[in-house]
Amino acid sequence: MTDRVLLVDDDRAVREALGQTLELAGHRPILAGSFIEAKDHISADFAGIVVSDIRMPGKDGFALLDHARKVDPDLPVILLTGEGDVPTAVRGMAGGAFDFLEKPCGPSDFLAVVGKALKTRALILENRALKREIRRGDAASRMLVGSSAISEQMREAARRAARTSAEVLISGPPGAGTAKMAEVVHLLSAAAMRPFQKLSAAAATPETLAALFGRAEGGSIFLDEVAALPPAAQFALLDLIDSHPGTRVIAGTYRDLAREAAEGRFNPDLFYKLDVMRVRIPALTERPEDIPVLFRHYVSIACEQSDLPMPEITPEVIADLMAQDWPGNSRALMNAAMRFAMGLGETHEDAEAPGLAGQMARVERSLLIEALVRQGGNATEAAAALKLPRKTFYDKLARHGIRAEDYRG
């Protein structure tokens, strides 16, 4: 319950009298005699308000108001003054004070302003909590897993695209998850309760597209690898988009669609129709710090689906994962997680074996990462463990695109 009142006044008698008034009214006062005593009670999640005298030794009430506004611009601050002059009142309100009271003020007037401020604060904190819950629980947070800055940019891009009804073009390498991103955009949009239909563009015909638009009326259609859409289907799609303005088309591609259009392999008019909102999904190599997070997430899902116990994911397993290039991106990492969850132990991609040089490079990369994992990201200690000069160690890190800070605990 929001009923805390931080009461700041250097006059002890006034402070205690007002504090008693607050207690009798059912509030919980915190009494302070100066800026120094009060400032540590002020925080962005302080479940209450501030009532402060203006004239105090040292830093005055205006200084406390400024401090409160910096910590939380929405924290109500009521200023008290014994002078009652208009310039002081104007300065206080211009500085962001919630209200202004002249001393001495009657209990009823005092409690009325305090009550109003407390209700305002309660609404502010309730709205913040609701927004946090929505942000934590929205489709972007649930489905686009990752702790890196790039992952957060992806989530924000999905939210931006969802706020419009325009067509969306999602680009990303094979296996990056364009279909999942399309579903996230749909679920975050105003059409979330309407149908979400998917189709491989290579298999599309004018007839299948027409049927798809009929099923997805008012919702979203995802066309996977739209660059593979046959020419006849491209012309049909143009007409269908124009004739179904309430249905959004989300297209996924791993090819450069602008180049495909410029070189005559894709209808330019359709390209411009689809290329309104852009969302890019980077390869795993661009966000290596997400690999352990995603792997744990996928293992957890696999165990839950198959009713299996969660296996231990050791630093050695993580080092092995980080040593790989993952050309198959999230899809390949998910497959590796499924194998691991089933106790197969194999976390490598199913790819053609590299030559001798490639195998040696992979081993070296794995050893470098394992050393960093064991030393908690401390490059100096990792270099010493491998008996390498620091410069040589850093040169090898640079050659393999490894950042020591990614392995700090």
| pTM for the structure as a whole | 0.57
Range in 172-176, 242-246, 310-314, 396-400 the model is least confident about: 396-400
Query: What is the rounded CA–CA span in Å between residue 317 and residue 298?
Result: 14
CB neighbourhood size of 320 (10 A): 18
Q: What region does 376 belong to: left with phi over 0, alpha with psi -120 to 50, or beta?
A: left
- Could you give the CA distance from residue 402 to residue 368 in angstroms, rounded to a whole number? 9
How many CB atoms within 10 Å of residue 273? 17
Strand partners, 30: 6
pLDDT attached to residue 117 = 95
Whole-number average pLDDT of the chain: 88
Q: Which domains does the chain have, with CATH numbers?
A: 4-134 (3.40.50.2300), 142-282 (3.40.50.300), 286-407 (no CATH)
| Helix or strand (DSSP H, E) at 197 | strand 196-200
Chain-centroid distance of CA 164 in Å reads: 19
Q: How far apart (Å, rounded) are the C-alpha atoms in residues 74 and 89? A: 19
Per-residue pLDDT band for 218 (boundaries 50, 70, 90) equals confident
Q: How far is CA 104 from the centre of its chain?
A: 49
Q: Which of 374, 371, 369, 362 is nearest to 324 (CA)?
A: 362
Q: How far is CA 248 from CA 156, 240, 266, in A?
A: 19, 11, 20
- Say which residue the tokens 């015909």 belong to: 205
Residue with tokens 């991609």: 349
How far is CA 305 from each of CA 113, 139, 298, 310, 391, rounded to the nearest angstrom? 56, 20, 11, 11, 47
Residue 351 scores a pLDDT above 50: no
Please provide residue 302's backbone torsions phi and psi, each rounded to the nearest 5 degrees.
Answer: -60, -40
Determine the length of the chain.
409
Identity of residue 76:
P
Please state the separation of Cα 193 from the chain's center in Å.
23
pLDDT at 194 over 60: yes
Sign of CA dihedral 165, 170, 175, 176: negative
CA angle 307, 311, 316 (to 5 degrees): 155
Residue ranges of alpha helices (H) inside 74-198 are 86-94, 107-137, 139-143, 149-162, 178-188
Position 260 scores a pLDDT of 95
| pLDDT band at 226; cut points 50, 70, 90 | very high
